[in-house]
């Protein structure tokens, strides 16, 4: 696992370098961005994804830091003391040949004492260390799964924004074409008005309709600019950098390329939490066991009494074993185990509920794909019919057999059919994205 995590860190550096090369090539050639390119750029430049990878790198360092607990510790202690009043101790006078039953105060030591201690400590047995290391390893799985969830979420946002931009571009093309047709009609009717063949209000009706189309065009342009700025943020492009999207063939191109890989990151996350709960229970049980450590120390104590010009150094060294064993903790660990058991049951319930919900989301998304596919086919057929009706009504209007109201009605029907096709396209793509995200397979 540690080797794999080290490779992950190196891969992140390679991805960042690759992104820099892609970005420099993008700036130099102003290439068109297709969906695959946008997703790759987001994978290396999106700040949310980069933070998720930094969380993984941080956890690696935490493991390295925790591993150091197994290594020996070397400490140095210096104590430099001047005894303004040398401490004394009461001893029996008989000890110095005095009267039995009496006591004397004797001062021990010198005014200046310099003590230096070097101590080595090595843990020989501590069951909690192994538990902590295993918990960090499981936490690595949790962070990795959270990273996968973040990547899927960002990729869904990128793809959704990309398809919305495609839809806006197509809608904009429709509106521009409608304005061109309307301009042609208005020009012809203005000529008829000058010849006195029609009244001015007939032309005004078309002018009103044209103004509505122009307003729609400007609204679409503003919406497109907003979505482009969002896409730039998602894929890590300078907001001032212009972008061009490759044209996506409406309807004909699906994103459901590989449906064989089904992964539920949410279930992987819960499974890792379950394993962490198990390790926590083991760790609490291990806390009943003693800890054993070896230690060795060397001390050099230098004593001085300037009044007598007395100076002497005293060495000392010792080896030892230290055993720490909590024999009774006030039922703390016992109560922790009860809490652990409750949490284990909660995780089991969450796993069952999440499995049911994810399967429901996946099935609903598949049904939505079928529904939206049918809706898109109907919208396409309606667009064909609306175009036919508009052309026929336009010809009849030019012949003078129908009024401008009929032409405007046909034009509105055409615009609605165009909008329906674009909306159905977006809904189908969103349904496909929802399905792929539900199985953790947006690539």
For residues 104 and 250, membership in a common domain is answered with no
* Nearest-5° Cα angle at 192, 189 to 195: 155
Checking if the pLDDT of 332 tops 80, the result is yes
Q: Is residue 137 part of a domain?
A: yes
Cα–Cα dist 250/255, whole Å: 12
Q: What is the mean pLDDT of residues 391-408?
A: 86
For residues 179 and 271, membership in a common domain is answered with yes
Q: What is the extent of the structural domain holding 98?
A: 74-125+293-324
Q: What is the mean pLDDT of residues 292-302?
A: 94
Q: Tell me the pLDDT tens digit for each residue of 279-293.
A: 899 888 888 889 999
E-state strands within 93-220: 103-107, 112-125
Q: Is residue 62 part of a domain?
A: yes
Last-in-domain residue among 324, 347, 381: 324
CB distance 62 to 85 below 8 Å: no
Checking if the pLDDT of 259 tops 90, the result is no
- DSSP-assigned beta bridge partners for residue 105: 90
pLDDT grade for 200, boundaries at 50, 70 and 90 = confident
Sheet holding 310-324, edge to edge: 73-82, 112-125, 291-305, 310-324
The pLDDT of residue 414 = 92
For residues 25 and 149, membership in a common domain is answered with yes
Checking if the pLDDT of 158 tops 60, the result is yes
Model pTM score: 0.73
Cα–Cα dist 168/171, whole Å: 5
For residues 390 and 400, membership in a common domain is answered with yes
For residues 220 and 153, membership in a common domain is answered with yes
Question: Domain total for the chain?
Answer: 2
Q: Is residue 195 part of a domain?
A: yes
Last-in-domain residue among 303, 324, 345: 324
Q: Is residue 286 part of a domain?
A: yes
For residues 153 and 179, membership in a common domain is answered with yes
The pLDDT of residue 222 = 94
Please provide the average confidence, as pLDDT, over all residues in the chain.
Answer: 85
For residues 278 and 300, membership in a common domain is answered with no
Cα–Cα dist 58/62, whole Å: 6
The dihedrals phi and psi of 402, each to the nearest 5 degrees, come to: -130, 160
Q: Is residue 166 part of a domain?
A: yes
Burial label, 37 (beta-carbon count in 10 A; 0-12, 13-18, 19+): middle
Cα–Cα dist 259/372, whole Å: 18
CB atoms within 10 A of CB 71: 9
Count how many Cα atoms sit within 13 Å of the Cα of residue 269 in the half-sphere of its side chain.
15
Q: Is residue 443 part of a domain?
A: no
pLDDT grade for 256, boundaries at 50, 70 and 90 = low
What percent of the chain clears pLDDT 90, i.e. is strictly above it?
A: 45
Burial label, 273 (beta-carbon count in 10 A; 0-12, 13-18, 19+): buried
pLDDT grade for 248, boundaries at 50, 70 and 90 = low
For residues 35 and 139, membership in a common domain is answered with yes
For residues 397 and 433, membership in a common domain is answered with yes
For residues 91 and 140, membership in a common domain is answered with no
Q: What is the mean pLDDT of residues 79-100?
A: 84
For residues 26 and 149, membership in a common domain is answered with yes
Q: Is residue 314 part of a domain?
A: yes
| CATH number of 38's domain | 1.20.1600.10
Q: Is residue 182 part of a domain?
A: yes
Cα–Cα dist 255/439, whole Å: 14
pLDDT grade for 217, boundaries at 50, 70 and 90 = very high
The pLDDT of residue 115 = 94
Cα–Cα dist 339/204, whole Å: 77
For residues 254 and 225, membership in a common domain is answered with yes
């Amino acid at each position: 696992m540690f080797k794999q995590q080290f490779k992950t860190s190196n891969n992140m550096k390679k991805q960042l370098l690759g992104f820099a090369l892609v970005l420099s090539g993008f700036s130099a050639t102003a290439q068109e961005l297709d969906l695959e390119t946008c997703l790759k750029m987001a994978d290396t430049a999106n700040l949310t994804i980069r933070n998720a990878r930094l969380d993984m790198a941080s956890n690696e360092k935490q493991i390295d830091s925790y591993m150091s607990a197994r290594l020996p510790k070397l400490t140095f202690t210096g104590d430099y003391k001047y005894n303004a009043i040398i401490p004394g101790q009461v001893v029996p006078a008989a000890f110095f040949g005095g009267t039995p039953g009496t006591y004397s105060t004797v001062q021990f030591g010198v005014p200046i004492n310099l003590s230096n201690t070097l101590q080595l400590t090595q843990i020989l047995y501590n069951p909690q260390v192994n538990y902590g290391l295993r918990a960090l390893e499981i936490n690595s799985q949790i962070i990795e799964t959270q990273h996968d969830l973040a990547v899927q979420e960002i990729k869904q946002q990128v793809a959704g924004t990309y398809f919305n931009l495609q839809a806006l571009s197509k809608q904009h093309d429709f509106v521009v074409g409608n304005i061109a047709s309307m301009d042609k009609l208005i020009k012809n009717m203005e000529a008829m008005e000058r010849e006195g063949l029609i009244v001015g209000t007939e032309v005004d009706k078309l002018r009103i309709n044209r103004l509505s189309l122009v307003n729609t065009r400007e609204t679409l342009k503003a919406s497109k600019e907003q979505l482009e700025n969002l896409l730039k943020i998602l894929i890590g492009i300078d907001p001032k950098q212009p972008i061009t999207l490759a044209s996506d063939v409406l309807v004909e191109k699906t994103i459901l390329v590989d449906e064989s890989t089904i992964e539920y990151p949410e279930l992987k996350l819960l499974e890792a939490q379950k394993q962490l709960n198990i390790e926590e229970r083991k760790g609490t049980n291990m806390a009943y066991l003693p800890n054993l450590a070896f230690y060795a120390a060397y001390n050099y104590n230098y004593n001085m009494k300037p009044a007598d010009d007395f100076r002497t150094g005293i060495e000392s060294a010792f080896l030892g074993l230290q055993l720490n064993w909590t024999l009774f903790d006030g039922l703390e660990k016992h109560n922790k185990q009860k809490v652990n058991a409750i949490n284990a049951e909660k995780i089991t319930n969450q796993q069952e509920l999440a499995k049911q919900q994810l399967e429901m989301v996946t099935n609903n998304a598949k049904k939505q794909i079928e529904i939206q596919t049918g809706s898109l086919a109907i919208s396409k057929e309606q667009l064909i019919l609306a175009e036919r009706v508009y052309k026929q009504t336009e010809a009849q209007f030019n012949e003078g057999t129908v009024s401008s109201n009929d032409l405007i009605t046909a034009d509105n029907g055409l615009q609605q059919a165009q909008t329906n096709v674009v909306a159905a396209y977006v809904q189908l793509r969103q349904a496909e994205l929802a399905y792929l995200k539900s199985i953790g397979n947006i690539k």
